Amino acid sequence: FDSGQPLPEVAREADRYLDAVEQMGDLNMHAAYLTLQRVVQNLQGDGKSCWSLDNETFHEADCLAQWQENNFNHGLNWYHYLKAQLLYTYEQYGAALRTFQAVEDKVAANVGFFPVTKYYFYYLLVLTALYSEATKEEKAAYWSIIERHYTQLQVWADSCPENFQHQALLAAAEMARVCDRPAEAMNLYEQAIVSAKESQMLHHEALANELAAKFYLGWNKEKCAAGYLQAAYSSYAQWG
């Protein structure tokens, strides 16, 4: 999922792992793969609403209650990171922020595990999305987190550019945007798009094009934005 694999392929793999962990009797991991399955299905339009994972057979509250009872912080983080990503995708930025804040005290449980990268990347993007409407006090608090998360993304980008360079570039583009440095932002968006494409990260290539389009729309440059929107649509369609 995080590697940009087409969603139909992710769904098939999740189904295979679901069967395996069910046979093993690992209820925590079974719930984790069910959560991933529901996120993929939601992105493909199968859900009661865009920002809910519930359906006839899966209920978020039951899943969370199970993990809380079992003190399975990996699962709690996994759910909240995926849910926040979903909420960000659907421009529910306030809800995404609250979702990340709910597990800030549990981040240590995922240190050294790949899902924590989602926390640093999407949390930063949520805050840059909210930044322009924030109060002076909120901006100061947001910026402190943004800088800290960007520093971590850059560390990962330096050690593994094929996985993280495009994320660091896109984060930097959004930081330049909110700091009113348009020329720098333009260049960084373009670099992020190229980097994501080279790394075959379809979902992040789509996102980088989408954010570039929003940037140009904010400057009333509809013709420039149109090209990026078309590219975003194409990448999202390929993603599935």
Average pLDDT, the chain: 93
Decide which of 99 and 21 is more confident. 99
**Does residue 150 carry a pLDDT above 70?**
yes
Query: Average of pLDDT values for 182-195?
Result: 98
Look up residue 21 and give its two tokens: 């962990």
Mean pLDDT of 160-178: 97
- The reported pLDDT for the residue numbered 112 is 66
Interatomic CA distance for residues 127 and 139, integer angstroms: 9
Residue 114 in this model has a pLDDT that exceeds 80:
no
Residue 121, both tokens: 């990347």
Q: Is the pLDDT of residue 11 over 70?
A: yes
CB distance 162 to 169 below 8 Å: no
Average pLDDT over residues 140-148: 98
Burial degree of 17 (CB within 10 A; 0-12, 13-18, 19+): middle
Quick one: pLDDT at residue 141? 98
Q: Is the dihedral of CA 190, 192, 195, 199 positive or negative?
A: negative
DSSP H or E segment with residue 96? helix 93-101
Q: pLDDT band at residue 123, thresholds of 50, 70 and 90?
A: very high
168 near 157, Cβ under 8 Å?
A: yes
Q: CA nearest 39: which of 62, 60, 17?
A: 60
Q: Could you give the CA distance from residue 110 to residue 215 in angstroms, rounded to a whole number? A: 33
Amino acid 64 reads L
**pTM for the full model?**
0.93
Work out whether the CA dihedral 149, 153, 155, 156 comes out positive or negative. positive
Q: Are 121 and 75 in contact (CB under 8 A)?
A: no
pLDDT at 56 over 90: no
- Region of poorest pLDDT, from 48-52, 162-166, 178-182, 198-202: 48-52
> Under a CB-based contact definition with an 8 Å cutoff, are residues 22 and 30 in contact?
yes
Residue keyed to tokens 């360079």: 165
User: What gap in Å lies between CA 162 and CA 223, rounded to an integer?
Assistant: 31
pLDDT for 70 equals 94
Q: Would you list the DSSP string of 18-72?
A: HHHHHHHT-HHHHHHHHHHHHHHHHHTT-SSSTT----SS--HHHHHHHHHHTT-
Tell me the pLDDT tens digit for each residue of 189-219. Answer: 999 999 999 999 999 999 999 999 999 999 9
Q: What is the pLDDT of residues 13-51, one digit of tens each?
A: 878 887 787 788 788 888 988 899 899 999 988 877 788
Q: Which of 11-25, 79-93, 128-142, 174-188 has the lowest mean pLDDT?
A: 11-25
